[in-house]
Structure 1
Amino acid sequence: MTLPRMWGLKPKSYNCERCGNDFVSCTALRYHFRAKHLGKVRCETCERDVLTESSQDHAKTDHEKILTDQGSCWNVTPTRETKFVAIETSTSCRMCARQFGTVHAREYHEKQEHHFTASKRAQMSTGFKPENILDYKTPVEIERFVETKLRPISGPARLACVSEVEGIIALIKEVFPLPITHIIKGGSYIKGTDTQDWSDLDIVLFSDAFESLDDCRRKIPEVLEELRKRLIKSSLANRLIMQKRTPFSLRFYFNCYKEHHGHSFDIMPCYDMLGSTLSTGLKESFYHKLYLCSDNDTIQLYAMILLKYQVEFVKSSPERVKDLIRLVKHWFKTSFAKSSEENK
């Protein structure tokens, strides 16, 4: 399998330090600066360029400083308010999580703090940040990038990492509040698609204490809370960073070998609908239920049960397929802002 070739060279661009826009030639940049910025200063209140000689008049006519019980604030006149009205889905920075009252303020912050120029906006439209795999034009360059930057480093450190991960899994089994029939390990670490910088592990613990899938759903919050309490009292508590819990999993970050890196864990208790042996008829019946299911919570529980088969499928894939998965994950993690209501 040959990874796709990335064609084309990036044209040289000339950047305006005042507004962040890019131009194809030095002449175009000089023309832009003379037309848009020469003889102007930036208003610290509204962050607009105004003529130097009229800056004081601009401050008096466009802004009115008022004092309140909480301190001073700027009251924007209706003419400016209509022009720079805050838009709910457009005022969070596209490079960090900072929020702004107006689109104009957000764009100014992006240019000043992140040098978010026109060329970067063009790259963002394709989902890429400046340093990305598009810089590697040939399959050989991409393969070298995967080998040196993405694939986990083998050797003593990797062996120590394996020992550390098995140790935390053993601790989870030891302090789990219910009897365990068997566990399934998944995630990029187990599938062989983890990278040098990150990996995740999904641990599904099956127990006969659950009488049914509905019983499992009712009891999971209580079981996870008890597991959390036991983990933060364990000998490895100082290496665990607890994260926001989901309805069906306990999440934490585990500082691994000499704290050089870590692993994200998802611990999920589950009722075993399929049992240790899976006949063809039972499998078909289960897939049919999953196909017809419209309840998201039930689908998540079904996904836990099927984790074993997902892991087997990915682990048996060729190394090139795993490298492609690494590339896609790297692209996603480095090229998109964190998902939220503002930037969905």
Structure 2
Amino acid sequence: MWTLKSYNCEHCGSDFISGRALKYHFQQKHLGKVHREKCDQEVLKGKQRGHSESTRDRSTMETHKLHWENLEERNGKYMDTNISKTCRMCSRRFGTVLSRENHEIQDHHFTARKRAQMSTGFSPHNMLECKGPQELQRFADRKICPASGSQRAACAAEIGTLLQLIQTSFPVPASRVIQGGSYVKGTDTQGCSEIDIILLSEVFADVNHFKKQLREGLETLRESLTRTAYGNRILMGKRTPLSLRFSFLCTESLHSHSFEIMAYYDILGPTPSTDLKLHLYCKLYPCKDSDEAQLCALALVRYQVDFVKASVVRVKELIRLMIHWLKTSFASPTEENKFRRLPSSYTVELLTIYIWERAEKPLSFSLVQGMRAVLKLLVQYADIDVVWHRHYPRKFPVLVKVTQKRTRPFILDPVNPTVNVCDTCNAWDEVAHVAKLSLRKPLFSGVRAEPPWLFTDAW
């Protein structure tokens, strides 16, 4: 296959086949223009004032999408949101990660020293202070692993009842329901349990009226749930255009679950053919409407769940430890860097599964060795390049195009070849810094790679 050199525009990220074409593009599209941060547009220098007046009352949609609070801080999204190219200080978007990083240094003085100060925040009594595998296992059993036995059963019963209420309260009949999230995949922790409910209905096939129907349906569901017997244990999140978010507190286990309810029409059906899934990928790749792409990708959630659930129990234990590390090792964002976004939980799950596969899928292994392997790879995040081929062939045109344009770190969603899950993070340098400091903690003191983790010695 012929490969052409690509000339990339640092202003908007467009690719060209020659330097001459790139030069012409720059002169036509960017020369003599300045970037307006409030609206994320480029305008002629002499027309800045008039443009500012015309956009003064316009809401900054990108800022709204990035700045979720509390319940809205849902890390496991269904599609790439290109956060990797947004400034963690002002949310301005760039064409490439390199141009974004140059902007942070020049305009915000985001030096290595400042990054170190703003990234690290190990919680008191962190698991990294454990001395040895046995102490780590006791810590995990006591503070990380979710409830088991009768408590888990009682929790599952209440969630099942709530799911029935959701289906009966939603005004549009659902032909099929897909469940996702860490709770369903078996990677939830004591302090982080996500449940995604996707209601699929043929009524939504009329896309012209879909958003209005969806908005009214979710609002009706919100009101209905607050009037049920569970209403006093449901904390509703802020309204969003495409989903209903709330936290639910189980009485028996005193465990809080973060719910997200979404709906769309059944674009794939219960048993789709390979050709139908490939057709969906071809539709997603050129899609410029982020809402439409996110809704279409909902049909792939069950395959994401199956991919993670197929891992052995020990891998899920390691995933829980890594998610706990992610939640307890970083400083909370301040007003200065409030647009910083760390990797999603789904990204951590896939990265951990990849490490396990590199170790040739052992059924049993040391959690300390597993954690050390993942952290060492995070330090070398620029080398992360992961693609699975279980849901799409190697020569599939969409896959070829995506991999040709890839930037690292790169972890392609195993069920969606249009999404690099690493793009939901704009702070990989901070992740590497915290991972490096974590490896110096007592938990890894004197620890050396043992079989089957010897490949980590090269990192």
Question: What range is the shorter-chain TM-score in?
Answer: 0.5 to 0.7
Structure 2: how far apart are the matches of 1:122 and 1:341?
17
Instruction: Quote the residue 1:192 is aligned against.
Output: 186
SS in structure 2 at match of 1:299: helix
Instruction: Quote the residue 1:180 is aligned against.
Output: 174
Q: CA deviation at 1:187?
A: 0.8
Following superposition of structure 1 onto structure 2, how do residues 112-127 of structure 1 map, counting pairs within 5 Å? 125-126=119-120
Match among 146, 149, 157 for residue 143 of structure 2: 149
Aligned letter for 1:290?
A: L
Aligned letter for 2:234?
A: L
1:227 aligns with 2:221: yes
SS in structure 2 at match of 1:183: strand
Per-residue Cα deviation, 1:7-34 (whole angstroms, up to 9, x for no partner): xxxxxxxxxxxxxxxxxxxxxxxxxxxx
Match among 179, 195, 202 for residue 196 of structure 2: 202
Structure 2: how far apart are the matches of 1:211 and 1:295?
17
Following superposition of structure 1 onto structure 2, how do residues 157-172 of structure 1 map, counting pairs within 5 Å? 157-172=151-166
Structure with higher Rg: it is 1
Structure 2: how far apart are the matches of 1:89 and 1:124?
12
- State percent identity of aligned pairs: 51
Instruction: Quote the residue 2:271 is aligned against.
Output: 277
Instruction: Quote the residue 1:296 is aligned against.
Output: 290
Does the Cα contact within 8 Å between 2:154 and 2:253 map onto a contact in 1? no
Does the Cα contact within 8 Å between 2:172 and 2:203 map onto a contact in 1? yes
Q: Per the alignment, do residues 321 and 170 of structure 1 end up closer, same or farther by CA in structure 2, a change over 3 Å counting?
A: same
Per-residue Cα deviation, 1:170-223 (whole angstroms, up to 9, x for no partner): 111111111110101111111101112331100000111112455433422111
Does the Cα contact within 8 Å between 2:155 and 2:253 map onto a contact in 1? no
Aligned letter for 1:193?
A: T
Aligned letter for 1:194?
A: D
Per-residue Cα deviation, 1:45-95 (whole angstroms, up to 9, x for no partner): xxxxxxxxxxxxxxxxxxxxxxxxxxxxxxxxxxxxxxxxxxx969xxxxx
Q: Per the alignment, do residues 328 and 212 of structure 1 end up closer, same or farther by CA in structure 2, a change over 3 Å counting?
A: farther
Q: Per the alignment, do residues 320 and 299 of structure 1 end up closer, same or farther by CA in structure 2, a change over 3 Å counting?
A: farther
Structure 1: how far apart are the matches of 2:207 and 2:172?
16
Q: Per the alignment, do residues 337 and 267 of structure 1 end up closer, same or farther by CA in structure 2, a change over 3 Å counting?
A: farther
Q: Per the alignment, do residues 179 and 156 of structure 1 end up closer, same or farther by CA in structure 2, a change over 3 Å counting?
A: same
1:216 aligns with 2:213: no
Following superposition of structure 1 onto structure 2, how do residues 1-344 of structure 1 map, counting pairs within 5 Å? 125-126=119-120, 128-213=122-207, 215-258=209-252, 260-338=254-332, 342-343=336-337, 344=340
Structure 2: how far apart are the matches of 1:294 and 1:137?
50
Which one scores higher on RCO, CA 8 angstroms, separation ≥ 6?
2
Structure 2: how far apart are the matches of 1:125 and 1:164?
38
Q: CA deviation at 1:124?
A: 6.1
Q: Per the alignment, do residues 259 and 138 of structure 1 end up closer, same or farther by CA in structure 2, a change over 3 Å counting?
A: closer
Q: CA deviation at 1:168?
A: 0.6
Aligned letter for 1:291?
A: Y
Structure 1: how far apart are the matches of 2:295 and 2:195?
17
Q: For structure 1, which segment, 169-178 or 134-143, has the greater mean C-alpha deviation from structure 2 after superposition?
A: 134-143
Give unmatched runs, 5+ long, in structure 1: 1-87, 91-120
Aligned length: 227
TM-score where L is the length of structure 2: 0.46
Does the Cα contact within 8 Å between 1:198 and 1:261 map onto a contact in 2? no
Does the Cα contact within 8 Å between 1:210 and 1:271 map onto a contact in 2? yes
Q: CA deviation at 1:232?
A: 1.5
Structure with the higher fraction of residues in strand conformation: 1
TM-score where L is the length of structure 1: 0.60
Q: Per the alignment, do residues 204 and 89 of structure 1 end up closer, same or farther by CA in structure 2, a change over 3 Å counting?
A: closer
Does the Cα contact within 8 Å between 1:123 and 1:129 map onto a contact in 2? no
Q: For structure 1, which segment, 191-200 or 144-153, has the greater mean C-alpha deviation from structure 2 after superposition?
A: 144-153
